[in-house]
């Protein structure tokens, strides 16, 4: 349930009533601060039964009278607001000059309602008093707001709106009133628990909620219903506002929400529109964020002085205008002055090796990359020339496959090979439902990566099948024109496994591999394939699979020795006993091990917090765990299969097992199927629901 943003406290000018509402307001605002709701509860005081015939008493009870020991209600509310909202100053004079409900004895009896009976709306009527208060309640962010010009005033004259406000009367209890209906649906995507992301998200929520239906993920219980709600809200949104800071660009949930919005926009005539806001972040977007965001407009926020301008810019963008960074030149100017990410100082033992954030593909020169025995084999294989090679890198999600692929590509470049890298998760969803556009896009994309002129239309005019056209295009145009070795590196190939043309595509790749034996030009082509899902269960004829020929590298979790070595590279934030504890918790999960060591080495959390808050939604792994829920919630078979694994250590459906293993959630030991690590077992046992 969405709790109210505004609390109206109605009081009469006497000590009992005034003391009661002041205490209530203080308790209510304190409770809101301690809750999971990020929004502050804004109190609107409403003095009532003000007797116009007693001007002296009216002044004393408003401004105070020390001789009569009367503390004025205006001064008391100003002091209260400065305390609970951390204001340096607060002046309610303009507010209380307009907001006082006068006493009219007639309405003390019976059921008459002044606003329905009075024909006059002059300044002495109750109707005017109620209207004046309602306008401020609806249009002001808070009582000390001086009524800045409202950019939506013209629209308000043409549309009807509603908004919830909780009205509290010290003598009559509670009631809910509705006044406004929001015009647009907006989803705010941000990283929880970090600054400035969370405070800015709240300010955007407050500003836009006055005129729109805005969703912010902060109050729901995490679990499958939570993930369903996130997807439903993004699907229904007109806009997705994404806050991108040095920390949030590495958030799996922020990336997941952007990915979903991007793919939904392809299906839903461009909605939701993504509005990226860089929060004092000047670095180029890393892949895959760059693929989603570089081609659209951005906004930039540097510090608190920019907040008002940013809110106006968002209001204008929602009204149909563009964000300010709308040209390649303006974007380039922003990222030219890139500043390093600021993190807490590392432990003394780690000073000589600057820490690296654990997210994303690792740099080829990273000192934190853990080499496995097969790495050397992969690098030496790709550097072979004159024969053509096929390398398949397999392993669950976040095992280091893409980082090994980057090293493989780098090794190929050093011996003069051209490289074309295709990430299949970037294929349009429409292309993945129809072979004709898929094969055309594949050829067009490959041509673009090689910076060659496209001849796709000419080859597609031939009366041949898609695989034949694609093969001729590669053989007779791309390889022939290049005249030099080419590495075709393909990541996230599991994106094709659910298509009805997967056998055609993969058998085509296998035929390219086989053709090296009979046609010299195919020896110019190396294939580097990366997949997280076991392909053997999804390809009908294994003799047509490209994944079981050439060099096949199956990545596994870190051993204890590899994890201990990585701990040393981080300055040994964990002692020997804690290393064992981390191994028991994570089972050598490469990404989670790096994250744990990074957070403790940079002193962002203590070791006690690392283990004590491991399965908390806002803990060290919360973003990662929530992302898995988000990706799995609508896949009933996977949820049921994973629950079988957690409860009984079995998975009856072999295809479900391979998908769960590809997602990095389970592992097999002999005939027993286990959660990949104890962290997953503990968290998903609590949060998964059928």
pLDDT at 352: 42
pLDDT tens for 416-444 read: 999 999 999 888 878 888 999 999 999 99
Burial 413-433 (b: 16+ CB within 10 A, else e): eeeebbbbbbbbebbeeebbe
Which pLDDT belongs to residue 136?
82
pLDDT confidence band for 341 (50 / 70 / 90): very low
pLDDT in tens, 553-592: 999 999 999 999 999 999 999 999 999 999 999 999 999 9
265 is written with which tokens? 């926009």
| Residue 107 and residue 49 in one domain | yes
pLDDT computed for residue 320 by the predictor: 87
Q: Domain for residue 355, yes or no? A: no
pLDDT at 179 over 60: no
326 — phi, psi (to 5°)?
Answer: -120, 10
Report if residue 256 sits inside a domain.
yes
- What's the order of all strands across the beta sheet hosting 164-169? 42-47, 6-11, 164-169, 173-178
d(Cα 45, Cα 50) in Å, to the nearest integer? 14
Cα-Cα-Cα-Cα dihedral sign, residues 241, 246, 248, 251: positive
Number of domains the chain contains: 5
Rounded to whole angstroms, the Cα distance separating 328 from 297 reads 9
Same domain, 246 and 261: yes
- Looking at the structure, do residues 198 and 151 belong to the same domain, yes or no? no
Cα 397 to the center of its chain, rounded Å: 18
Within 13 Å and on the Cβ side, how many CA atoms surround 322? 7
Q: Which residue, among 225, 231, 289, has the nearest Cα to 264 in the 3D structure? A: 231
Please tell me whether residues 525 and 399 are part of one structural domain: yes
Total Cβ atoms within 10 A of residue 246: 20
Lowest mean pLDDT among 99-113, 410-424, 629-643: 99-113
Residues in CB range of 396: below 8 A, 6 or more apart: 532, 661, 662, 663, 664, 665, 676
More confidently predicted of 609 and 131: 609
Same domain? 234 vs 286: yes
Exposed e or buried b per residue across 448-471, where buried means at least 16 C-beta atoms within 10 angstroms of its C-beta: eebeeeebbeebbeeeeebbebbb
β-pair partners for 531: 394
Q: Which two tokens stand for residue 683?
A: 């968290």
From 178, 200, 218, give the residue that closes a domain.
Answer: 178
More reliable by pLDDT, 155 or 457: 457
d(CA 543, CA 470): 20
Q: By the 8 A CB rule, do 334 and 278 touch?
A: yes
- Give the model's pLDDT for residue 464: 92
CATH of the domain at 512: 3.40.50.300
Say if 347 falls within a structural domain: no
pTM of the model: 0.66
Question: Of all helices (H) and strands (E), which one includes residue 45?
Answer: strand 42-47
* DSSP 8-state class, residue 557: P
**What is the Cα 380 distance to its own chain's centre?**
39
pLDDT at 534 over 80: no
The DSSP secondary structure of 329-378, one letter per residue, reads HHHHHHHHT--PPP-PPPPGGGTTS-----SSSPPTT-TT----HHHHHH
How far is 266 from 294, CA to CA, in rounded Å? Answer: 17
- What the block records as the tokens of 179 is 């006044």
- Please tell me whether residues 509 and 584 are part of one structural domain: no
Say whether both 256 and 293 belong to one domain. Answer: yes
- Looking at the domain assignment, is residue 417 inside a domain? yes
Query: Are the CB atoms for 211 and 161 separated by under 8 Å?
Result: yes
Does 166 fall in a domain? yes
Let me know whether 584 and 548 are in one domain.
no
| Arithmetic mean of pLDDT, 517-541 | 82
Beta bridge mates, 168: 9, 174
Contacts of 95 (CB under 8 A, 6+ apart): 136, 143, 144
Same-domain status, 451 and 389: yes
pLDDT range class, residue 535, cuts 50, 70, 90: low
- Shortest CA distance to 658 belongs to which of 667, 671, 649, 650? 667
Q: How confident is the model at residue 323 (pLDDT cuts 50, 70, 90)?
A: very high
pLDDT recorded at residue 579: 96
Beta pairing partners, 164:
178
Is there a single domain that holds both residue 508 and residue 623? no
Nearest to 214 by CA among 226, 223, 202: 202
More confident residue, 490 or 222: 490
Number of H helices, E strands in the chain: 28, 16
Establish if 303 belongs to a structural domain: yes
Instruction: Give residue 150's pLDDT.
Output: 40
Closest C-alpha to 299, from 270, 331, 260: 331
- Can you tell me the distance from the alpha carbon of 383 to that of 125, in angstroms, rounded to the nearest whole number? 88
Contact 346, 602 (CB under 8 A): yes
Residue 525's φ and ψ, nearest 5 degrees, are -105, 125
pLDDT at 57: 87
475-492 average pLDDT score: 94
In this structure, the strands spanning 666-669 and 672-675 are antiparallel
CATH of the domain at 285: 3.40.50.10140
pLDDT confidence of residue 169: 42
Cα separation, 674 vs 667, in Å, equals: 5
**DSSP structural state of residue 37:** -
Name the residue range of residue 578's domain: 557-612
- pLDDT band per the 50, 70, 90 thresholds, residue 336: low
Residues sharing a CB contact under 8 Å with residue 58, sequence separation 6 or more, in sequence order: 13, 50, 51, 52
Q: Tell me the three state secondary structure of residue 256.
A: helix
CA 441 – CA 460 distance, rounded (Å)? 11
Using the 3D structure, point to which of 288, 313, 336 is the last residue of a domain. Answer: 336
Q: Report pLDDT for 180.
A: 40
How confident is the model at residue 340, as a pLDDT? Answer: 41
pLDDT of residue 108: 63
Give pLDDT tens digits for 116-134. 566 555 555 777 788 888 8
Residue 76 pLDDT > 70, yes or no?
A: yes
Give one DSSP letter per residue of 448-465, joined into a string.
HHTT----HHHHHTSSS-
For the segment 241-272, what is each residue's pLDDT rounded down to a tens digit?
999 999 899 888 999 999 999 989 988 889 99
Same domain, 84 and 160: yes
Give the pLDDT score at 620.
92
193 and 263 assigned to the same domain: yes
Average pLDDT, the chain: 84
Q: Which of 126, 157, 178 is the last residue of a domain?
A: 178
Nearest to 222 by CA among 626, 657, 685, 640: 626
What the block records as the tokens of 671 is 């005939």
Q: Is the pLDDT of residue 238 over 90?
A: yes
| DSSP code at position 602 | T
Is 540 among the domain residues? yes
Asked whether residue 530 is assigned to any structural domain, the reply reads yes
Which residue in the block uniquely carries the two structure tokens 């109210």?
4
Residue 480 clears pLDDT 70, i.e. is over it:
yes
Round to whole Å and give the CA distance between 127 and 124: 9
- Identify the DSSP state of 529: E
Q: Give tens-digit pLDDT for 374-383.
A: 899 999 999 9
Q: Which residues contact 484 (CB under 8 A, 6 or more apart)?
A: 416, 417, 418, 524
DSSP letter string over 652-678? S-HHHHHHHHHTTSEEEETTEEEESSH
Whole-angstrom distance, CA of residue 489 vs CA of residue 507: 17
Q: Which two tokens stand for residue 564?
A: 């201990």
């Amino acid at each position: 349930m969405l709790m109210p943003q505004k609390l109206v406290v109605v009081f009469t000018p006497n000590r009992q009533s005034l003391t009661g509402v002041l205490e209530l307001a203080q308790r209510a605002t304190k409770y809101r601060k301690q809750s999971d709701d990020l929004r502050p509860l804004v109190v609107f005081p409403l003095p009532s039964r003000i007797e116009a015939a007693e001007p002296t008493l009216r002044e004393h009870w408003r401004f105070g009278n020390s001789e009569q020991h009367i503390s004025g209600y205006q001064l008391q509310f100003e002091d209260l607001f400065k305390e609970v909202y951390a204001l340096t100053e607060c002046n309610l004079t303009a507010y209380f000059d307009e907001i006082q409900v006068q006493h009219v004895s007639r309405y003390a009896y019976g059921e008459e309602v002044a606003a329905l009976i009075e024909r006059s709306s002059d300044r002495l009527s109750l109707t005017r008093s109620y209207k004046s208060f309602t306008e401020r309640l609806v249009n002001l962010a808070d009582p000390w707001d001086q009524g800045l010009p409202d950019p939506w005033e013209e629209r308000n004259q043409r549309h009807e709106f509603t908004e919830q406000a909780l009205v509290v009367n010290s003598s009559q209890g509670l009631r809910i009133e509705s006044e406004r209906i929001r015009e647009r649906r907006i989803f705010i995507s941000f990283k929880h628990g970090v600054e400035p992301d969370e405070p800015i998200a709240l300010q955007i929520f407050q500003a836009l909620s006055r005129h729109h239906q805005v969703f912010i993920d902060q109050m729901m219980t995490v679990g499958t219903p939570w993930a369903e709600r996130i997807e439903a809200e993004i699907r229904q949104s007109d806009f997705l506002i994404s806050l991108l800071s040095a920390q949030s660009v590495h958030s799996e949930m922020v990336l997941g929400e952007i990915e979903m919005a991007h793919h939904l926009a392809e299906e839903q005539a461009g909605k939701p529109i993504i509005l990226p806001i860089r929060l004092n972040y000047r670095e180029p977007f890393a892949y895959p964020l760059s693929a989603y965001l570089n081609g659209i407009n951005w906004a930039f926020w540097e510090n608190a002085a920019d907040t008002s301008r940013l809110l106006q810019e968002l209001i204008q963008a929602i009204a149909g205008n563009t964000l300010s960074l709308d040209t390649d030149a303006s974007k380039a100017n922003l990222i030219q002055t890139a500043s390093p990410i600021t993190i807490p100082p590392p432990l003394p033992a780690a000073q000589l090796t600057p820490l690296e954030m654990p997210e994303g593909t690792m740099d080829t020169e990273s000192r934190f990359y853990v080499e496995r025995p097969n790495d050397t084999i992969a690098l030496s294989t790709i550097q072979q020339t004159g024969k053509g090679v096929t390398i398949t890198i397999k392993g669950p999600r976040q095992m280091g496959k893409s980082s090994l692929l980057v090293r493989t590509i780098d090794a190929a470049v050093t011996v003069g090979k051209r490289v074309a890298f295709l990430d299949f998760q970037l294929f349009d969803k429409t292309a993945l439902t129809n072979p004709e556009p898929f094969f055309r896009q594949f050829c067009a994309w490959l041509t673009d990566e090689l910076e060659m002129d496209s001849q796709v239309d000419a080859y597609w005019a031939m009366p041949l099948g898609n695989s034949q056209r694609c093969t001729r295009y590669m053989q007779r145009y791309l390889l022939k024109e290049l005249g030099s070795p080419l590495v075709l590196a393909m990541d996230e190939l599991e994106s094709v496994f659910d298509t009805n043309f997967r056998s055609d595509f993969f058998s085509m790749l296998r035929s390219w591999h086989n053709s090296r034996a009979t046609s010299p030009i195919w020896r110019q082509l190396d294939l580097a394939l990366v997949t997280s899902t076991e392909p053997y269960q999804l390809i009908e004829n294994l003799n047509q699979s490209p994944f079981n020929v050439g060099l096949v590298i199956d990545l596994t979790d870190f051993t204890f020795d590899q994890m201990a070595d990585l701990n040393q590279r981080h300055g040994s934030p964990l002692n020997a006993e804690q290393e064992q504890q981390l191994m028991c918790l994570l089972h050598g999960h490469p990404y989670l091990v790096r994250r744990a060591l990074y957070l403790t080495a940079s002193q962002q959390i203590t070791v006690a917090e690392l283990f004590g808050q491991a399965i908390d939604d806002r803990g060290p792994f919360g973003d990662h765990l929530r992302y898995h829920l988000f990706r799995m919630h609508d896949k009933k078979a996977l949820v049921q299969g994973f629950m079988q694994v957690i409860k009984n250590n079995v998975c009856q459906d072999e295809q479900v097992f391979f998908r769960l293993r590809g997602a990095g959630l389970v592992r097999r030991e002999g005939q027993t199927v286990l959660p990949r690590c104890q962290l997953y077992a503990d968290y998903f046992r609590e949060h998964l629901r059928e």
